[in-house]
């Protein structure tokens, strides 16, 4: 089976970043892809002008690519201020202001998966207070996602690159997913299984797949070490994706890796062109 059996999205917030945002959808299409995903593109603005949203929508339409995944506002990524929804004060308010903007944009382009990154621990704030705020805001996001026919994704990062993030294991992220589903009553919160982050945490990836595939709404990959393309590190990514398929995962796989010292268009030689179009 291998990679050819999967449906891939290209993450335009880590690949094709040598190009302006509005040129990236066309570049992904030229490389043979029909589906893309994005972190929140306006890192300093949870509520961009409607003209900016419209321009991104046109760029996607003109390129003929489907936006299948989008992050809620989470500060500047990558960076030390990852996440917003569990940070009291201004960051949490910015997240709340962003929720309906993301949901409405997702509905306008047919995007069905919305990712809400947990925030870092904040010095001087009780972790229990942050977790209560996170649950409140995640339920808000789950309701907005449900309103537009989308799922809400909760992701585990890695403790090496995000030492202040409390969700740095699959069990921790899945526990939050379960809490959100119980609190909202909607059942639309799902685990985002990022195999790179989980490998950086030293988790047993086959065991994670066995335990959590049934609660997984999206998968992302990069090789490790280096967060490069498949084949640049030592992760058996083709085998792991086969295991996911055998466990019943039928969703998409996001390519969230760094292209290295080359243009992004040259970073897909591992994947035959005929296998790049999402089916």
DSSP letters of 139-191? HHHHHHHHHTT-EEEEE---TTT-TT-S--SHHHHHHHHHHHHHHHS---EEE
Which tokens hold the place of 182?
A: 């119980």
* DSSP annotation of 262: S
Q: Which of 37, 91, 203, 256 is catalytic?
A: 256
* Interatomic CA distance for residues 97 and 122, integer angstroms: 21
Element (H, E) at 58: helix 50-63
pLDDT, tens digit (0-9, with 9 covering 90-100), for 126-162: 999 999 999 999 999 999 999 999 999 999 999 999 9
Give the pLDDT score at 76. Answer: 75
Domain ranges of the chain: 2-270
Q: Which of 37, 91, 155, 203 is catalytic?
A: 155
Identify the residue whose tokens are 């994706």: 241
Which class for 189: exposed (0-12), middle (13-18), buried (19 or more C-beta within 10 A)?
buried
Known catalytic membership, residue 155: yes
- The model's pTM is 0.96
Known catalytic membership, residue 256: yes
pLDDT, tens digit (0-9, with 9 covering 90-100), for 211-232: 999 999 999 999 999 999 999 9
Give the pLDDT score at 80. Answer: 57
* Interatomic CA distance for residues 210 and 268, integer angstroms: 28
Give the pLDDT score at 13. Answer: 97
CATH superfamily of 2-270: Divalent-metal-dependent TIM barrel enzymes (3.20.20.150)
Give the pLDDT score at 5. Answer: 74
| 198 in Cβ contact with 205 (< 8 Å) | yes
Which residue ranges in the chain fall short of pLDDT 50?
none
φ and ψ at residue 115, rounded to 5 degrees: -105, 125
């Amino acid at each position: 089976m291998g990679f050819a059996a999967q449906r891939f999205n290209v993450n335009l917030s880590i690949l094709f970043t040598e190009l302006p945002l509005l040129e990236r959808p066309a570049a992904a299409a030229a490389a043979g892809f029909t589906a893309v995903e994005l972190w929140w593109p306006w890192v300093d603005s949870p509520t961009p002008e409607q003209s900016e949203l419209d321009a991104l929508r046109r760029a996607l339409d003109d390129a003929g690519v489907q936006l299948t995944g989008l992050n809620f506002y989470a500060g500047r990524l990558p960076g030390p201020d990852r996440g917003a929804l569990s940070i009291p004060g201004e960051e949490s308010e910015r997240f709340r202001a962003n929720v309906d903007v993301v949901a409405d944009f997702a509905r306008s382009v047919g995007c069905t998966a919305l990712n809400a990154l947990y925030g870092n621990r904040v010095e001087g704030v009780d972790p229990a207070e942050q977790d209560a705020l996170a649950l409140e805001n995640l339920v808000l996001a789950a309701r907005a996602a449900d309103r537009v026919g989308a799922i809400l994704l909760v992701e585990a990062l890695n403790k090496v690159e995000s030492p202040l993030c409390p969700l740095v294991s699959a069990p921790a992220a899945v526990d939050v997913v379960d809490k959100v589903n119980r609190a909202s009553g909607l059942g639309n919160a799902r685990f985002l299984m990022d195999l790179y982050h989980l490998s950086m945490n030293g988790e047993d990836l086959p065991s994670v797949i066995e335990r959590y595939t049934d609660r997984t709404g999206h998968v992302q990959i990069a090789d490790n070490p280096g967060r490069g393309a498949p084949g640049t590190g030592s992760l058996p990514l083709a085998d792991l994706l086969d295991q996911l398929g055998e466990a019943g995962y039928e969703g998409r796989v996001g390519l969230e890796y760094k292209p290295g010292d080359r243009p992004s268009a040259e970073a897909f030689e591992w994947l035959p062109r005929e296998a790049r179009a999402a089916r």
